[in-house]
């Protein structure tokens, strides 16, 4: 494993065993991921396709992540460890790409996992689909502890329109992507000061460029670990990140934003309301998101009735029942 200094900016210089360009470069941004990073990197080592390099960019971790990677994977010449002062996930990914060499690039977050055939399937797909610039697969969701939940993301489609990335998140996670290097070079990297919705903004840029297709594979090849912490503040940051996406998009796709903003905002706020339910947040948080979603575009009630009505019923019922739950809790404590 090669290792660069925290302030080093030059590319990793390949050693004698690394001079052949690999088929895929895997970029893993790491920040205080000591709990899961070993399992994540093992899911790369266990790939049925072994012609890859891995650029692990430690973004100023303080929890021992760096030592774990060095101790467990330091003997593998395909793994290159880069350290830098904390600068955010977008800067870390951009730096990893700058140091990589393969014609295909895959991203993997430090707590997610891959199916053993992940890289093999994507490499084969790109070899036979020259017009595809970015591919992704179906996602299975894991609990925060890494247990399969049985919940699967929607079945991916063969192609997407720009508005799909304004209104939804078809790929679910950056850990799902495999892309051609030429696409990244052409449209540029992630917006450096974005930490939420930076992935959707990048995909929207690719879709608006129009030269490459973004396409999904039907197999479950990526396992996404859901988060359990920081509910209120994280949901607010997610909303601010999405609004920053809109700000960026207005520069290169003003007509698209003008046409779809109300619906896109309604769908995003509905997603945040649903997420607040899953994470058990204060009822008022979910209610606020859902009310603002309907104010933005109430017509999602009939355009997407199942998801909208079920989310609204769950959010509002939880809000209505909140006083009774608090009252029951006080009575319970009095009896104990």
Q: What is the DSSP string of 270-312?
A: HHHHHHHHHTT--HHHHHHHHHHHHHH-TTHHHHSHHHHHHHH
Is 256 found in the same domain as 219?
A: no
Is 46 found in the same domain as 180?
A: yes
Distance, in Å, from the CA atom of 35 to the CA atom of 99, rounded to the nearest integer, reads 26
3-state SS, residue 95 = helix
DSSP state letter for 229: S
Dihedral sign for Cα atoms in the order 257, 258, 259, 264 = positive
Domain boundary among 225, 249, 268: 225
Residue 244, Ramachandran bin (φ over 0: left; ψ between -120 and 50: alpha; else beta)? alpha
Domain boundary among 183, 208, 225: 225
Enclosing domain of residue 84: 2-225
Number of folded domains that form the chain: 2
Is 244 found in the same domain as 179?
A: no
Per-10-residue mean pLDDT of the chain, 336 residues long, equals: 46 46 97 96 97 97 94 92 96 98 97 97 97 98 91 94 94 97 98 94 98 97 80 82 97 97 97 87 91 96 94 92 61 43
Domain boundary among 225, 247, 273: 225
Distance, in Å, from the CA atom of 101 to the CA atom of 2, rounded to the nearest integer, reads 14
Mean pLDDT of the chain: 90
Residue 60, Ramachandran bin (φ over 0: left; ψ between -120 and 50: alpha; else beta)? left
| CB-based contact 134:214 (threshold 8 Å) | yes
Is 248 found in the same domain as 212?
A: no
What is residue 279's predicted lDDT score, i.e. its pLDDT?
A: 79
| CB-based contact 125:217 (threshold 8 Å) | yes
For residue 327, what are its two tokens?
A: 């009252």
Is 273 found in the same domain as 124?
A: no
Is 107 found in the same domain as 22?
A: yes
């Amino acid at each position: 494993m090669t290792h660069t200094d925290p302030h080093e900016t030059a590319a990793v210089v390949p050693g004698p065993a690394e001079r052949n360009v690999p088929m895929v470069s895997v970029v893993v941004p790491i920040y205080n991921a000591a709990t899961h990073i070993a399992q994540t990197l093992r899911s790369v080592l266990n790939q049925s396709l072994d012609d890859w390099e891995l650029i692990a960019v430690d973004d100023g971790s303080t929890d021992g992540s760096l030592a774990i990677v060095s101790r467990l994977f330091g003997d593998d010449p395909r793994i290159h460890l880069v350290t830098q002062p904390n600068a955010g996930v977008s800067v870390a990914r951009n730096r990893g790409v700058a140091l990589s060499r393969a014609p295909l690039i895959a991203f993997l977050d430090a707590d997610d996992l891959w199916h053993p055939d992940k890289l093999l399937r994507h490499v084969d797909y790109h070899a036979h689909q020259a017009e595809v610039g970015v591919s992704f697969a179906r996602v299975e969701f894991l609990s925060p502890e890494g247990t399969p939940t049985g919940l699967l993301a929607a079945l991916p489609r063969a192609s997407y329109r720009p508005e799909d990335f304004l209104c939804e998140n078809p790929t679910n996670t950056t850990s799902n992507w495999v892309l051609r290097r030429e696409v990244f070079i052409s449209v540029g990297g992630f917006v450096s000061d974005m930490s939420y919705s930076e992935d959707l903004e990048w995909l929207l840029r690719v879709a608006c460029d129009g030269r490459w297709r973004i396409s999904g594979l039907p197999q479950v090849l990526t396992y996404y670990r859901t988060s359990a912490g920081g509910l209120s503040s994280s949901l607010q940051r997610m909303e601010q990140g999405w609004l920053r996406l809109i700000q960026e998009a207005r520069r290169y796709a003003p007509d698209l934003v003008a046409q779809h903003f109300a619906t896109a905002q309604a769908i995003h706020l509905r997603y945040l309301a649903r997420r607040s339910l899953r994470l058990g947040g204060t009822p008022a948080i979910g209610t606020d998101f859902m009310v603002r979603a309907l104010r933005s575009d109430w017509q999602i009630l009939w355009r997407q009735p199942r998801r909208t009505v079920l989310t609204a019923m769950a959010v509002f019922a939880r809000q209505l029942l909140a006083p009774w739950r608090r009252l029951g809790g006080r009575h319970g404590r009095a009896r104990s």
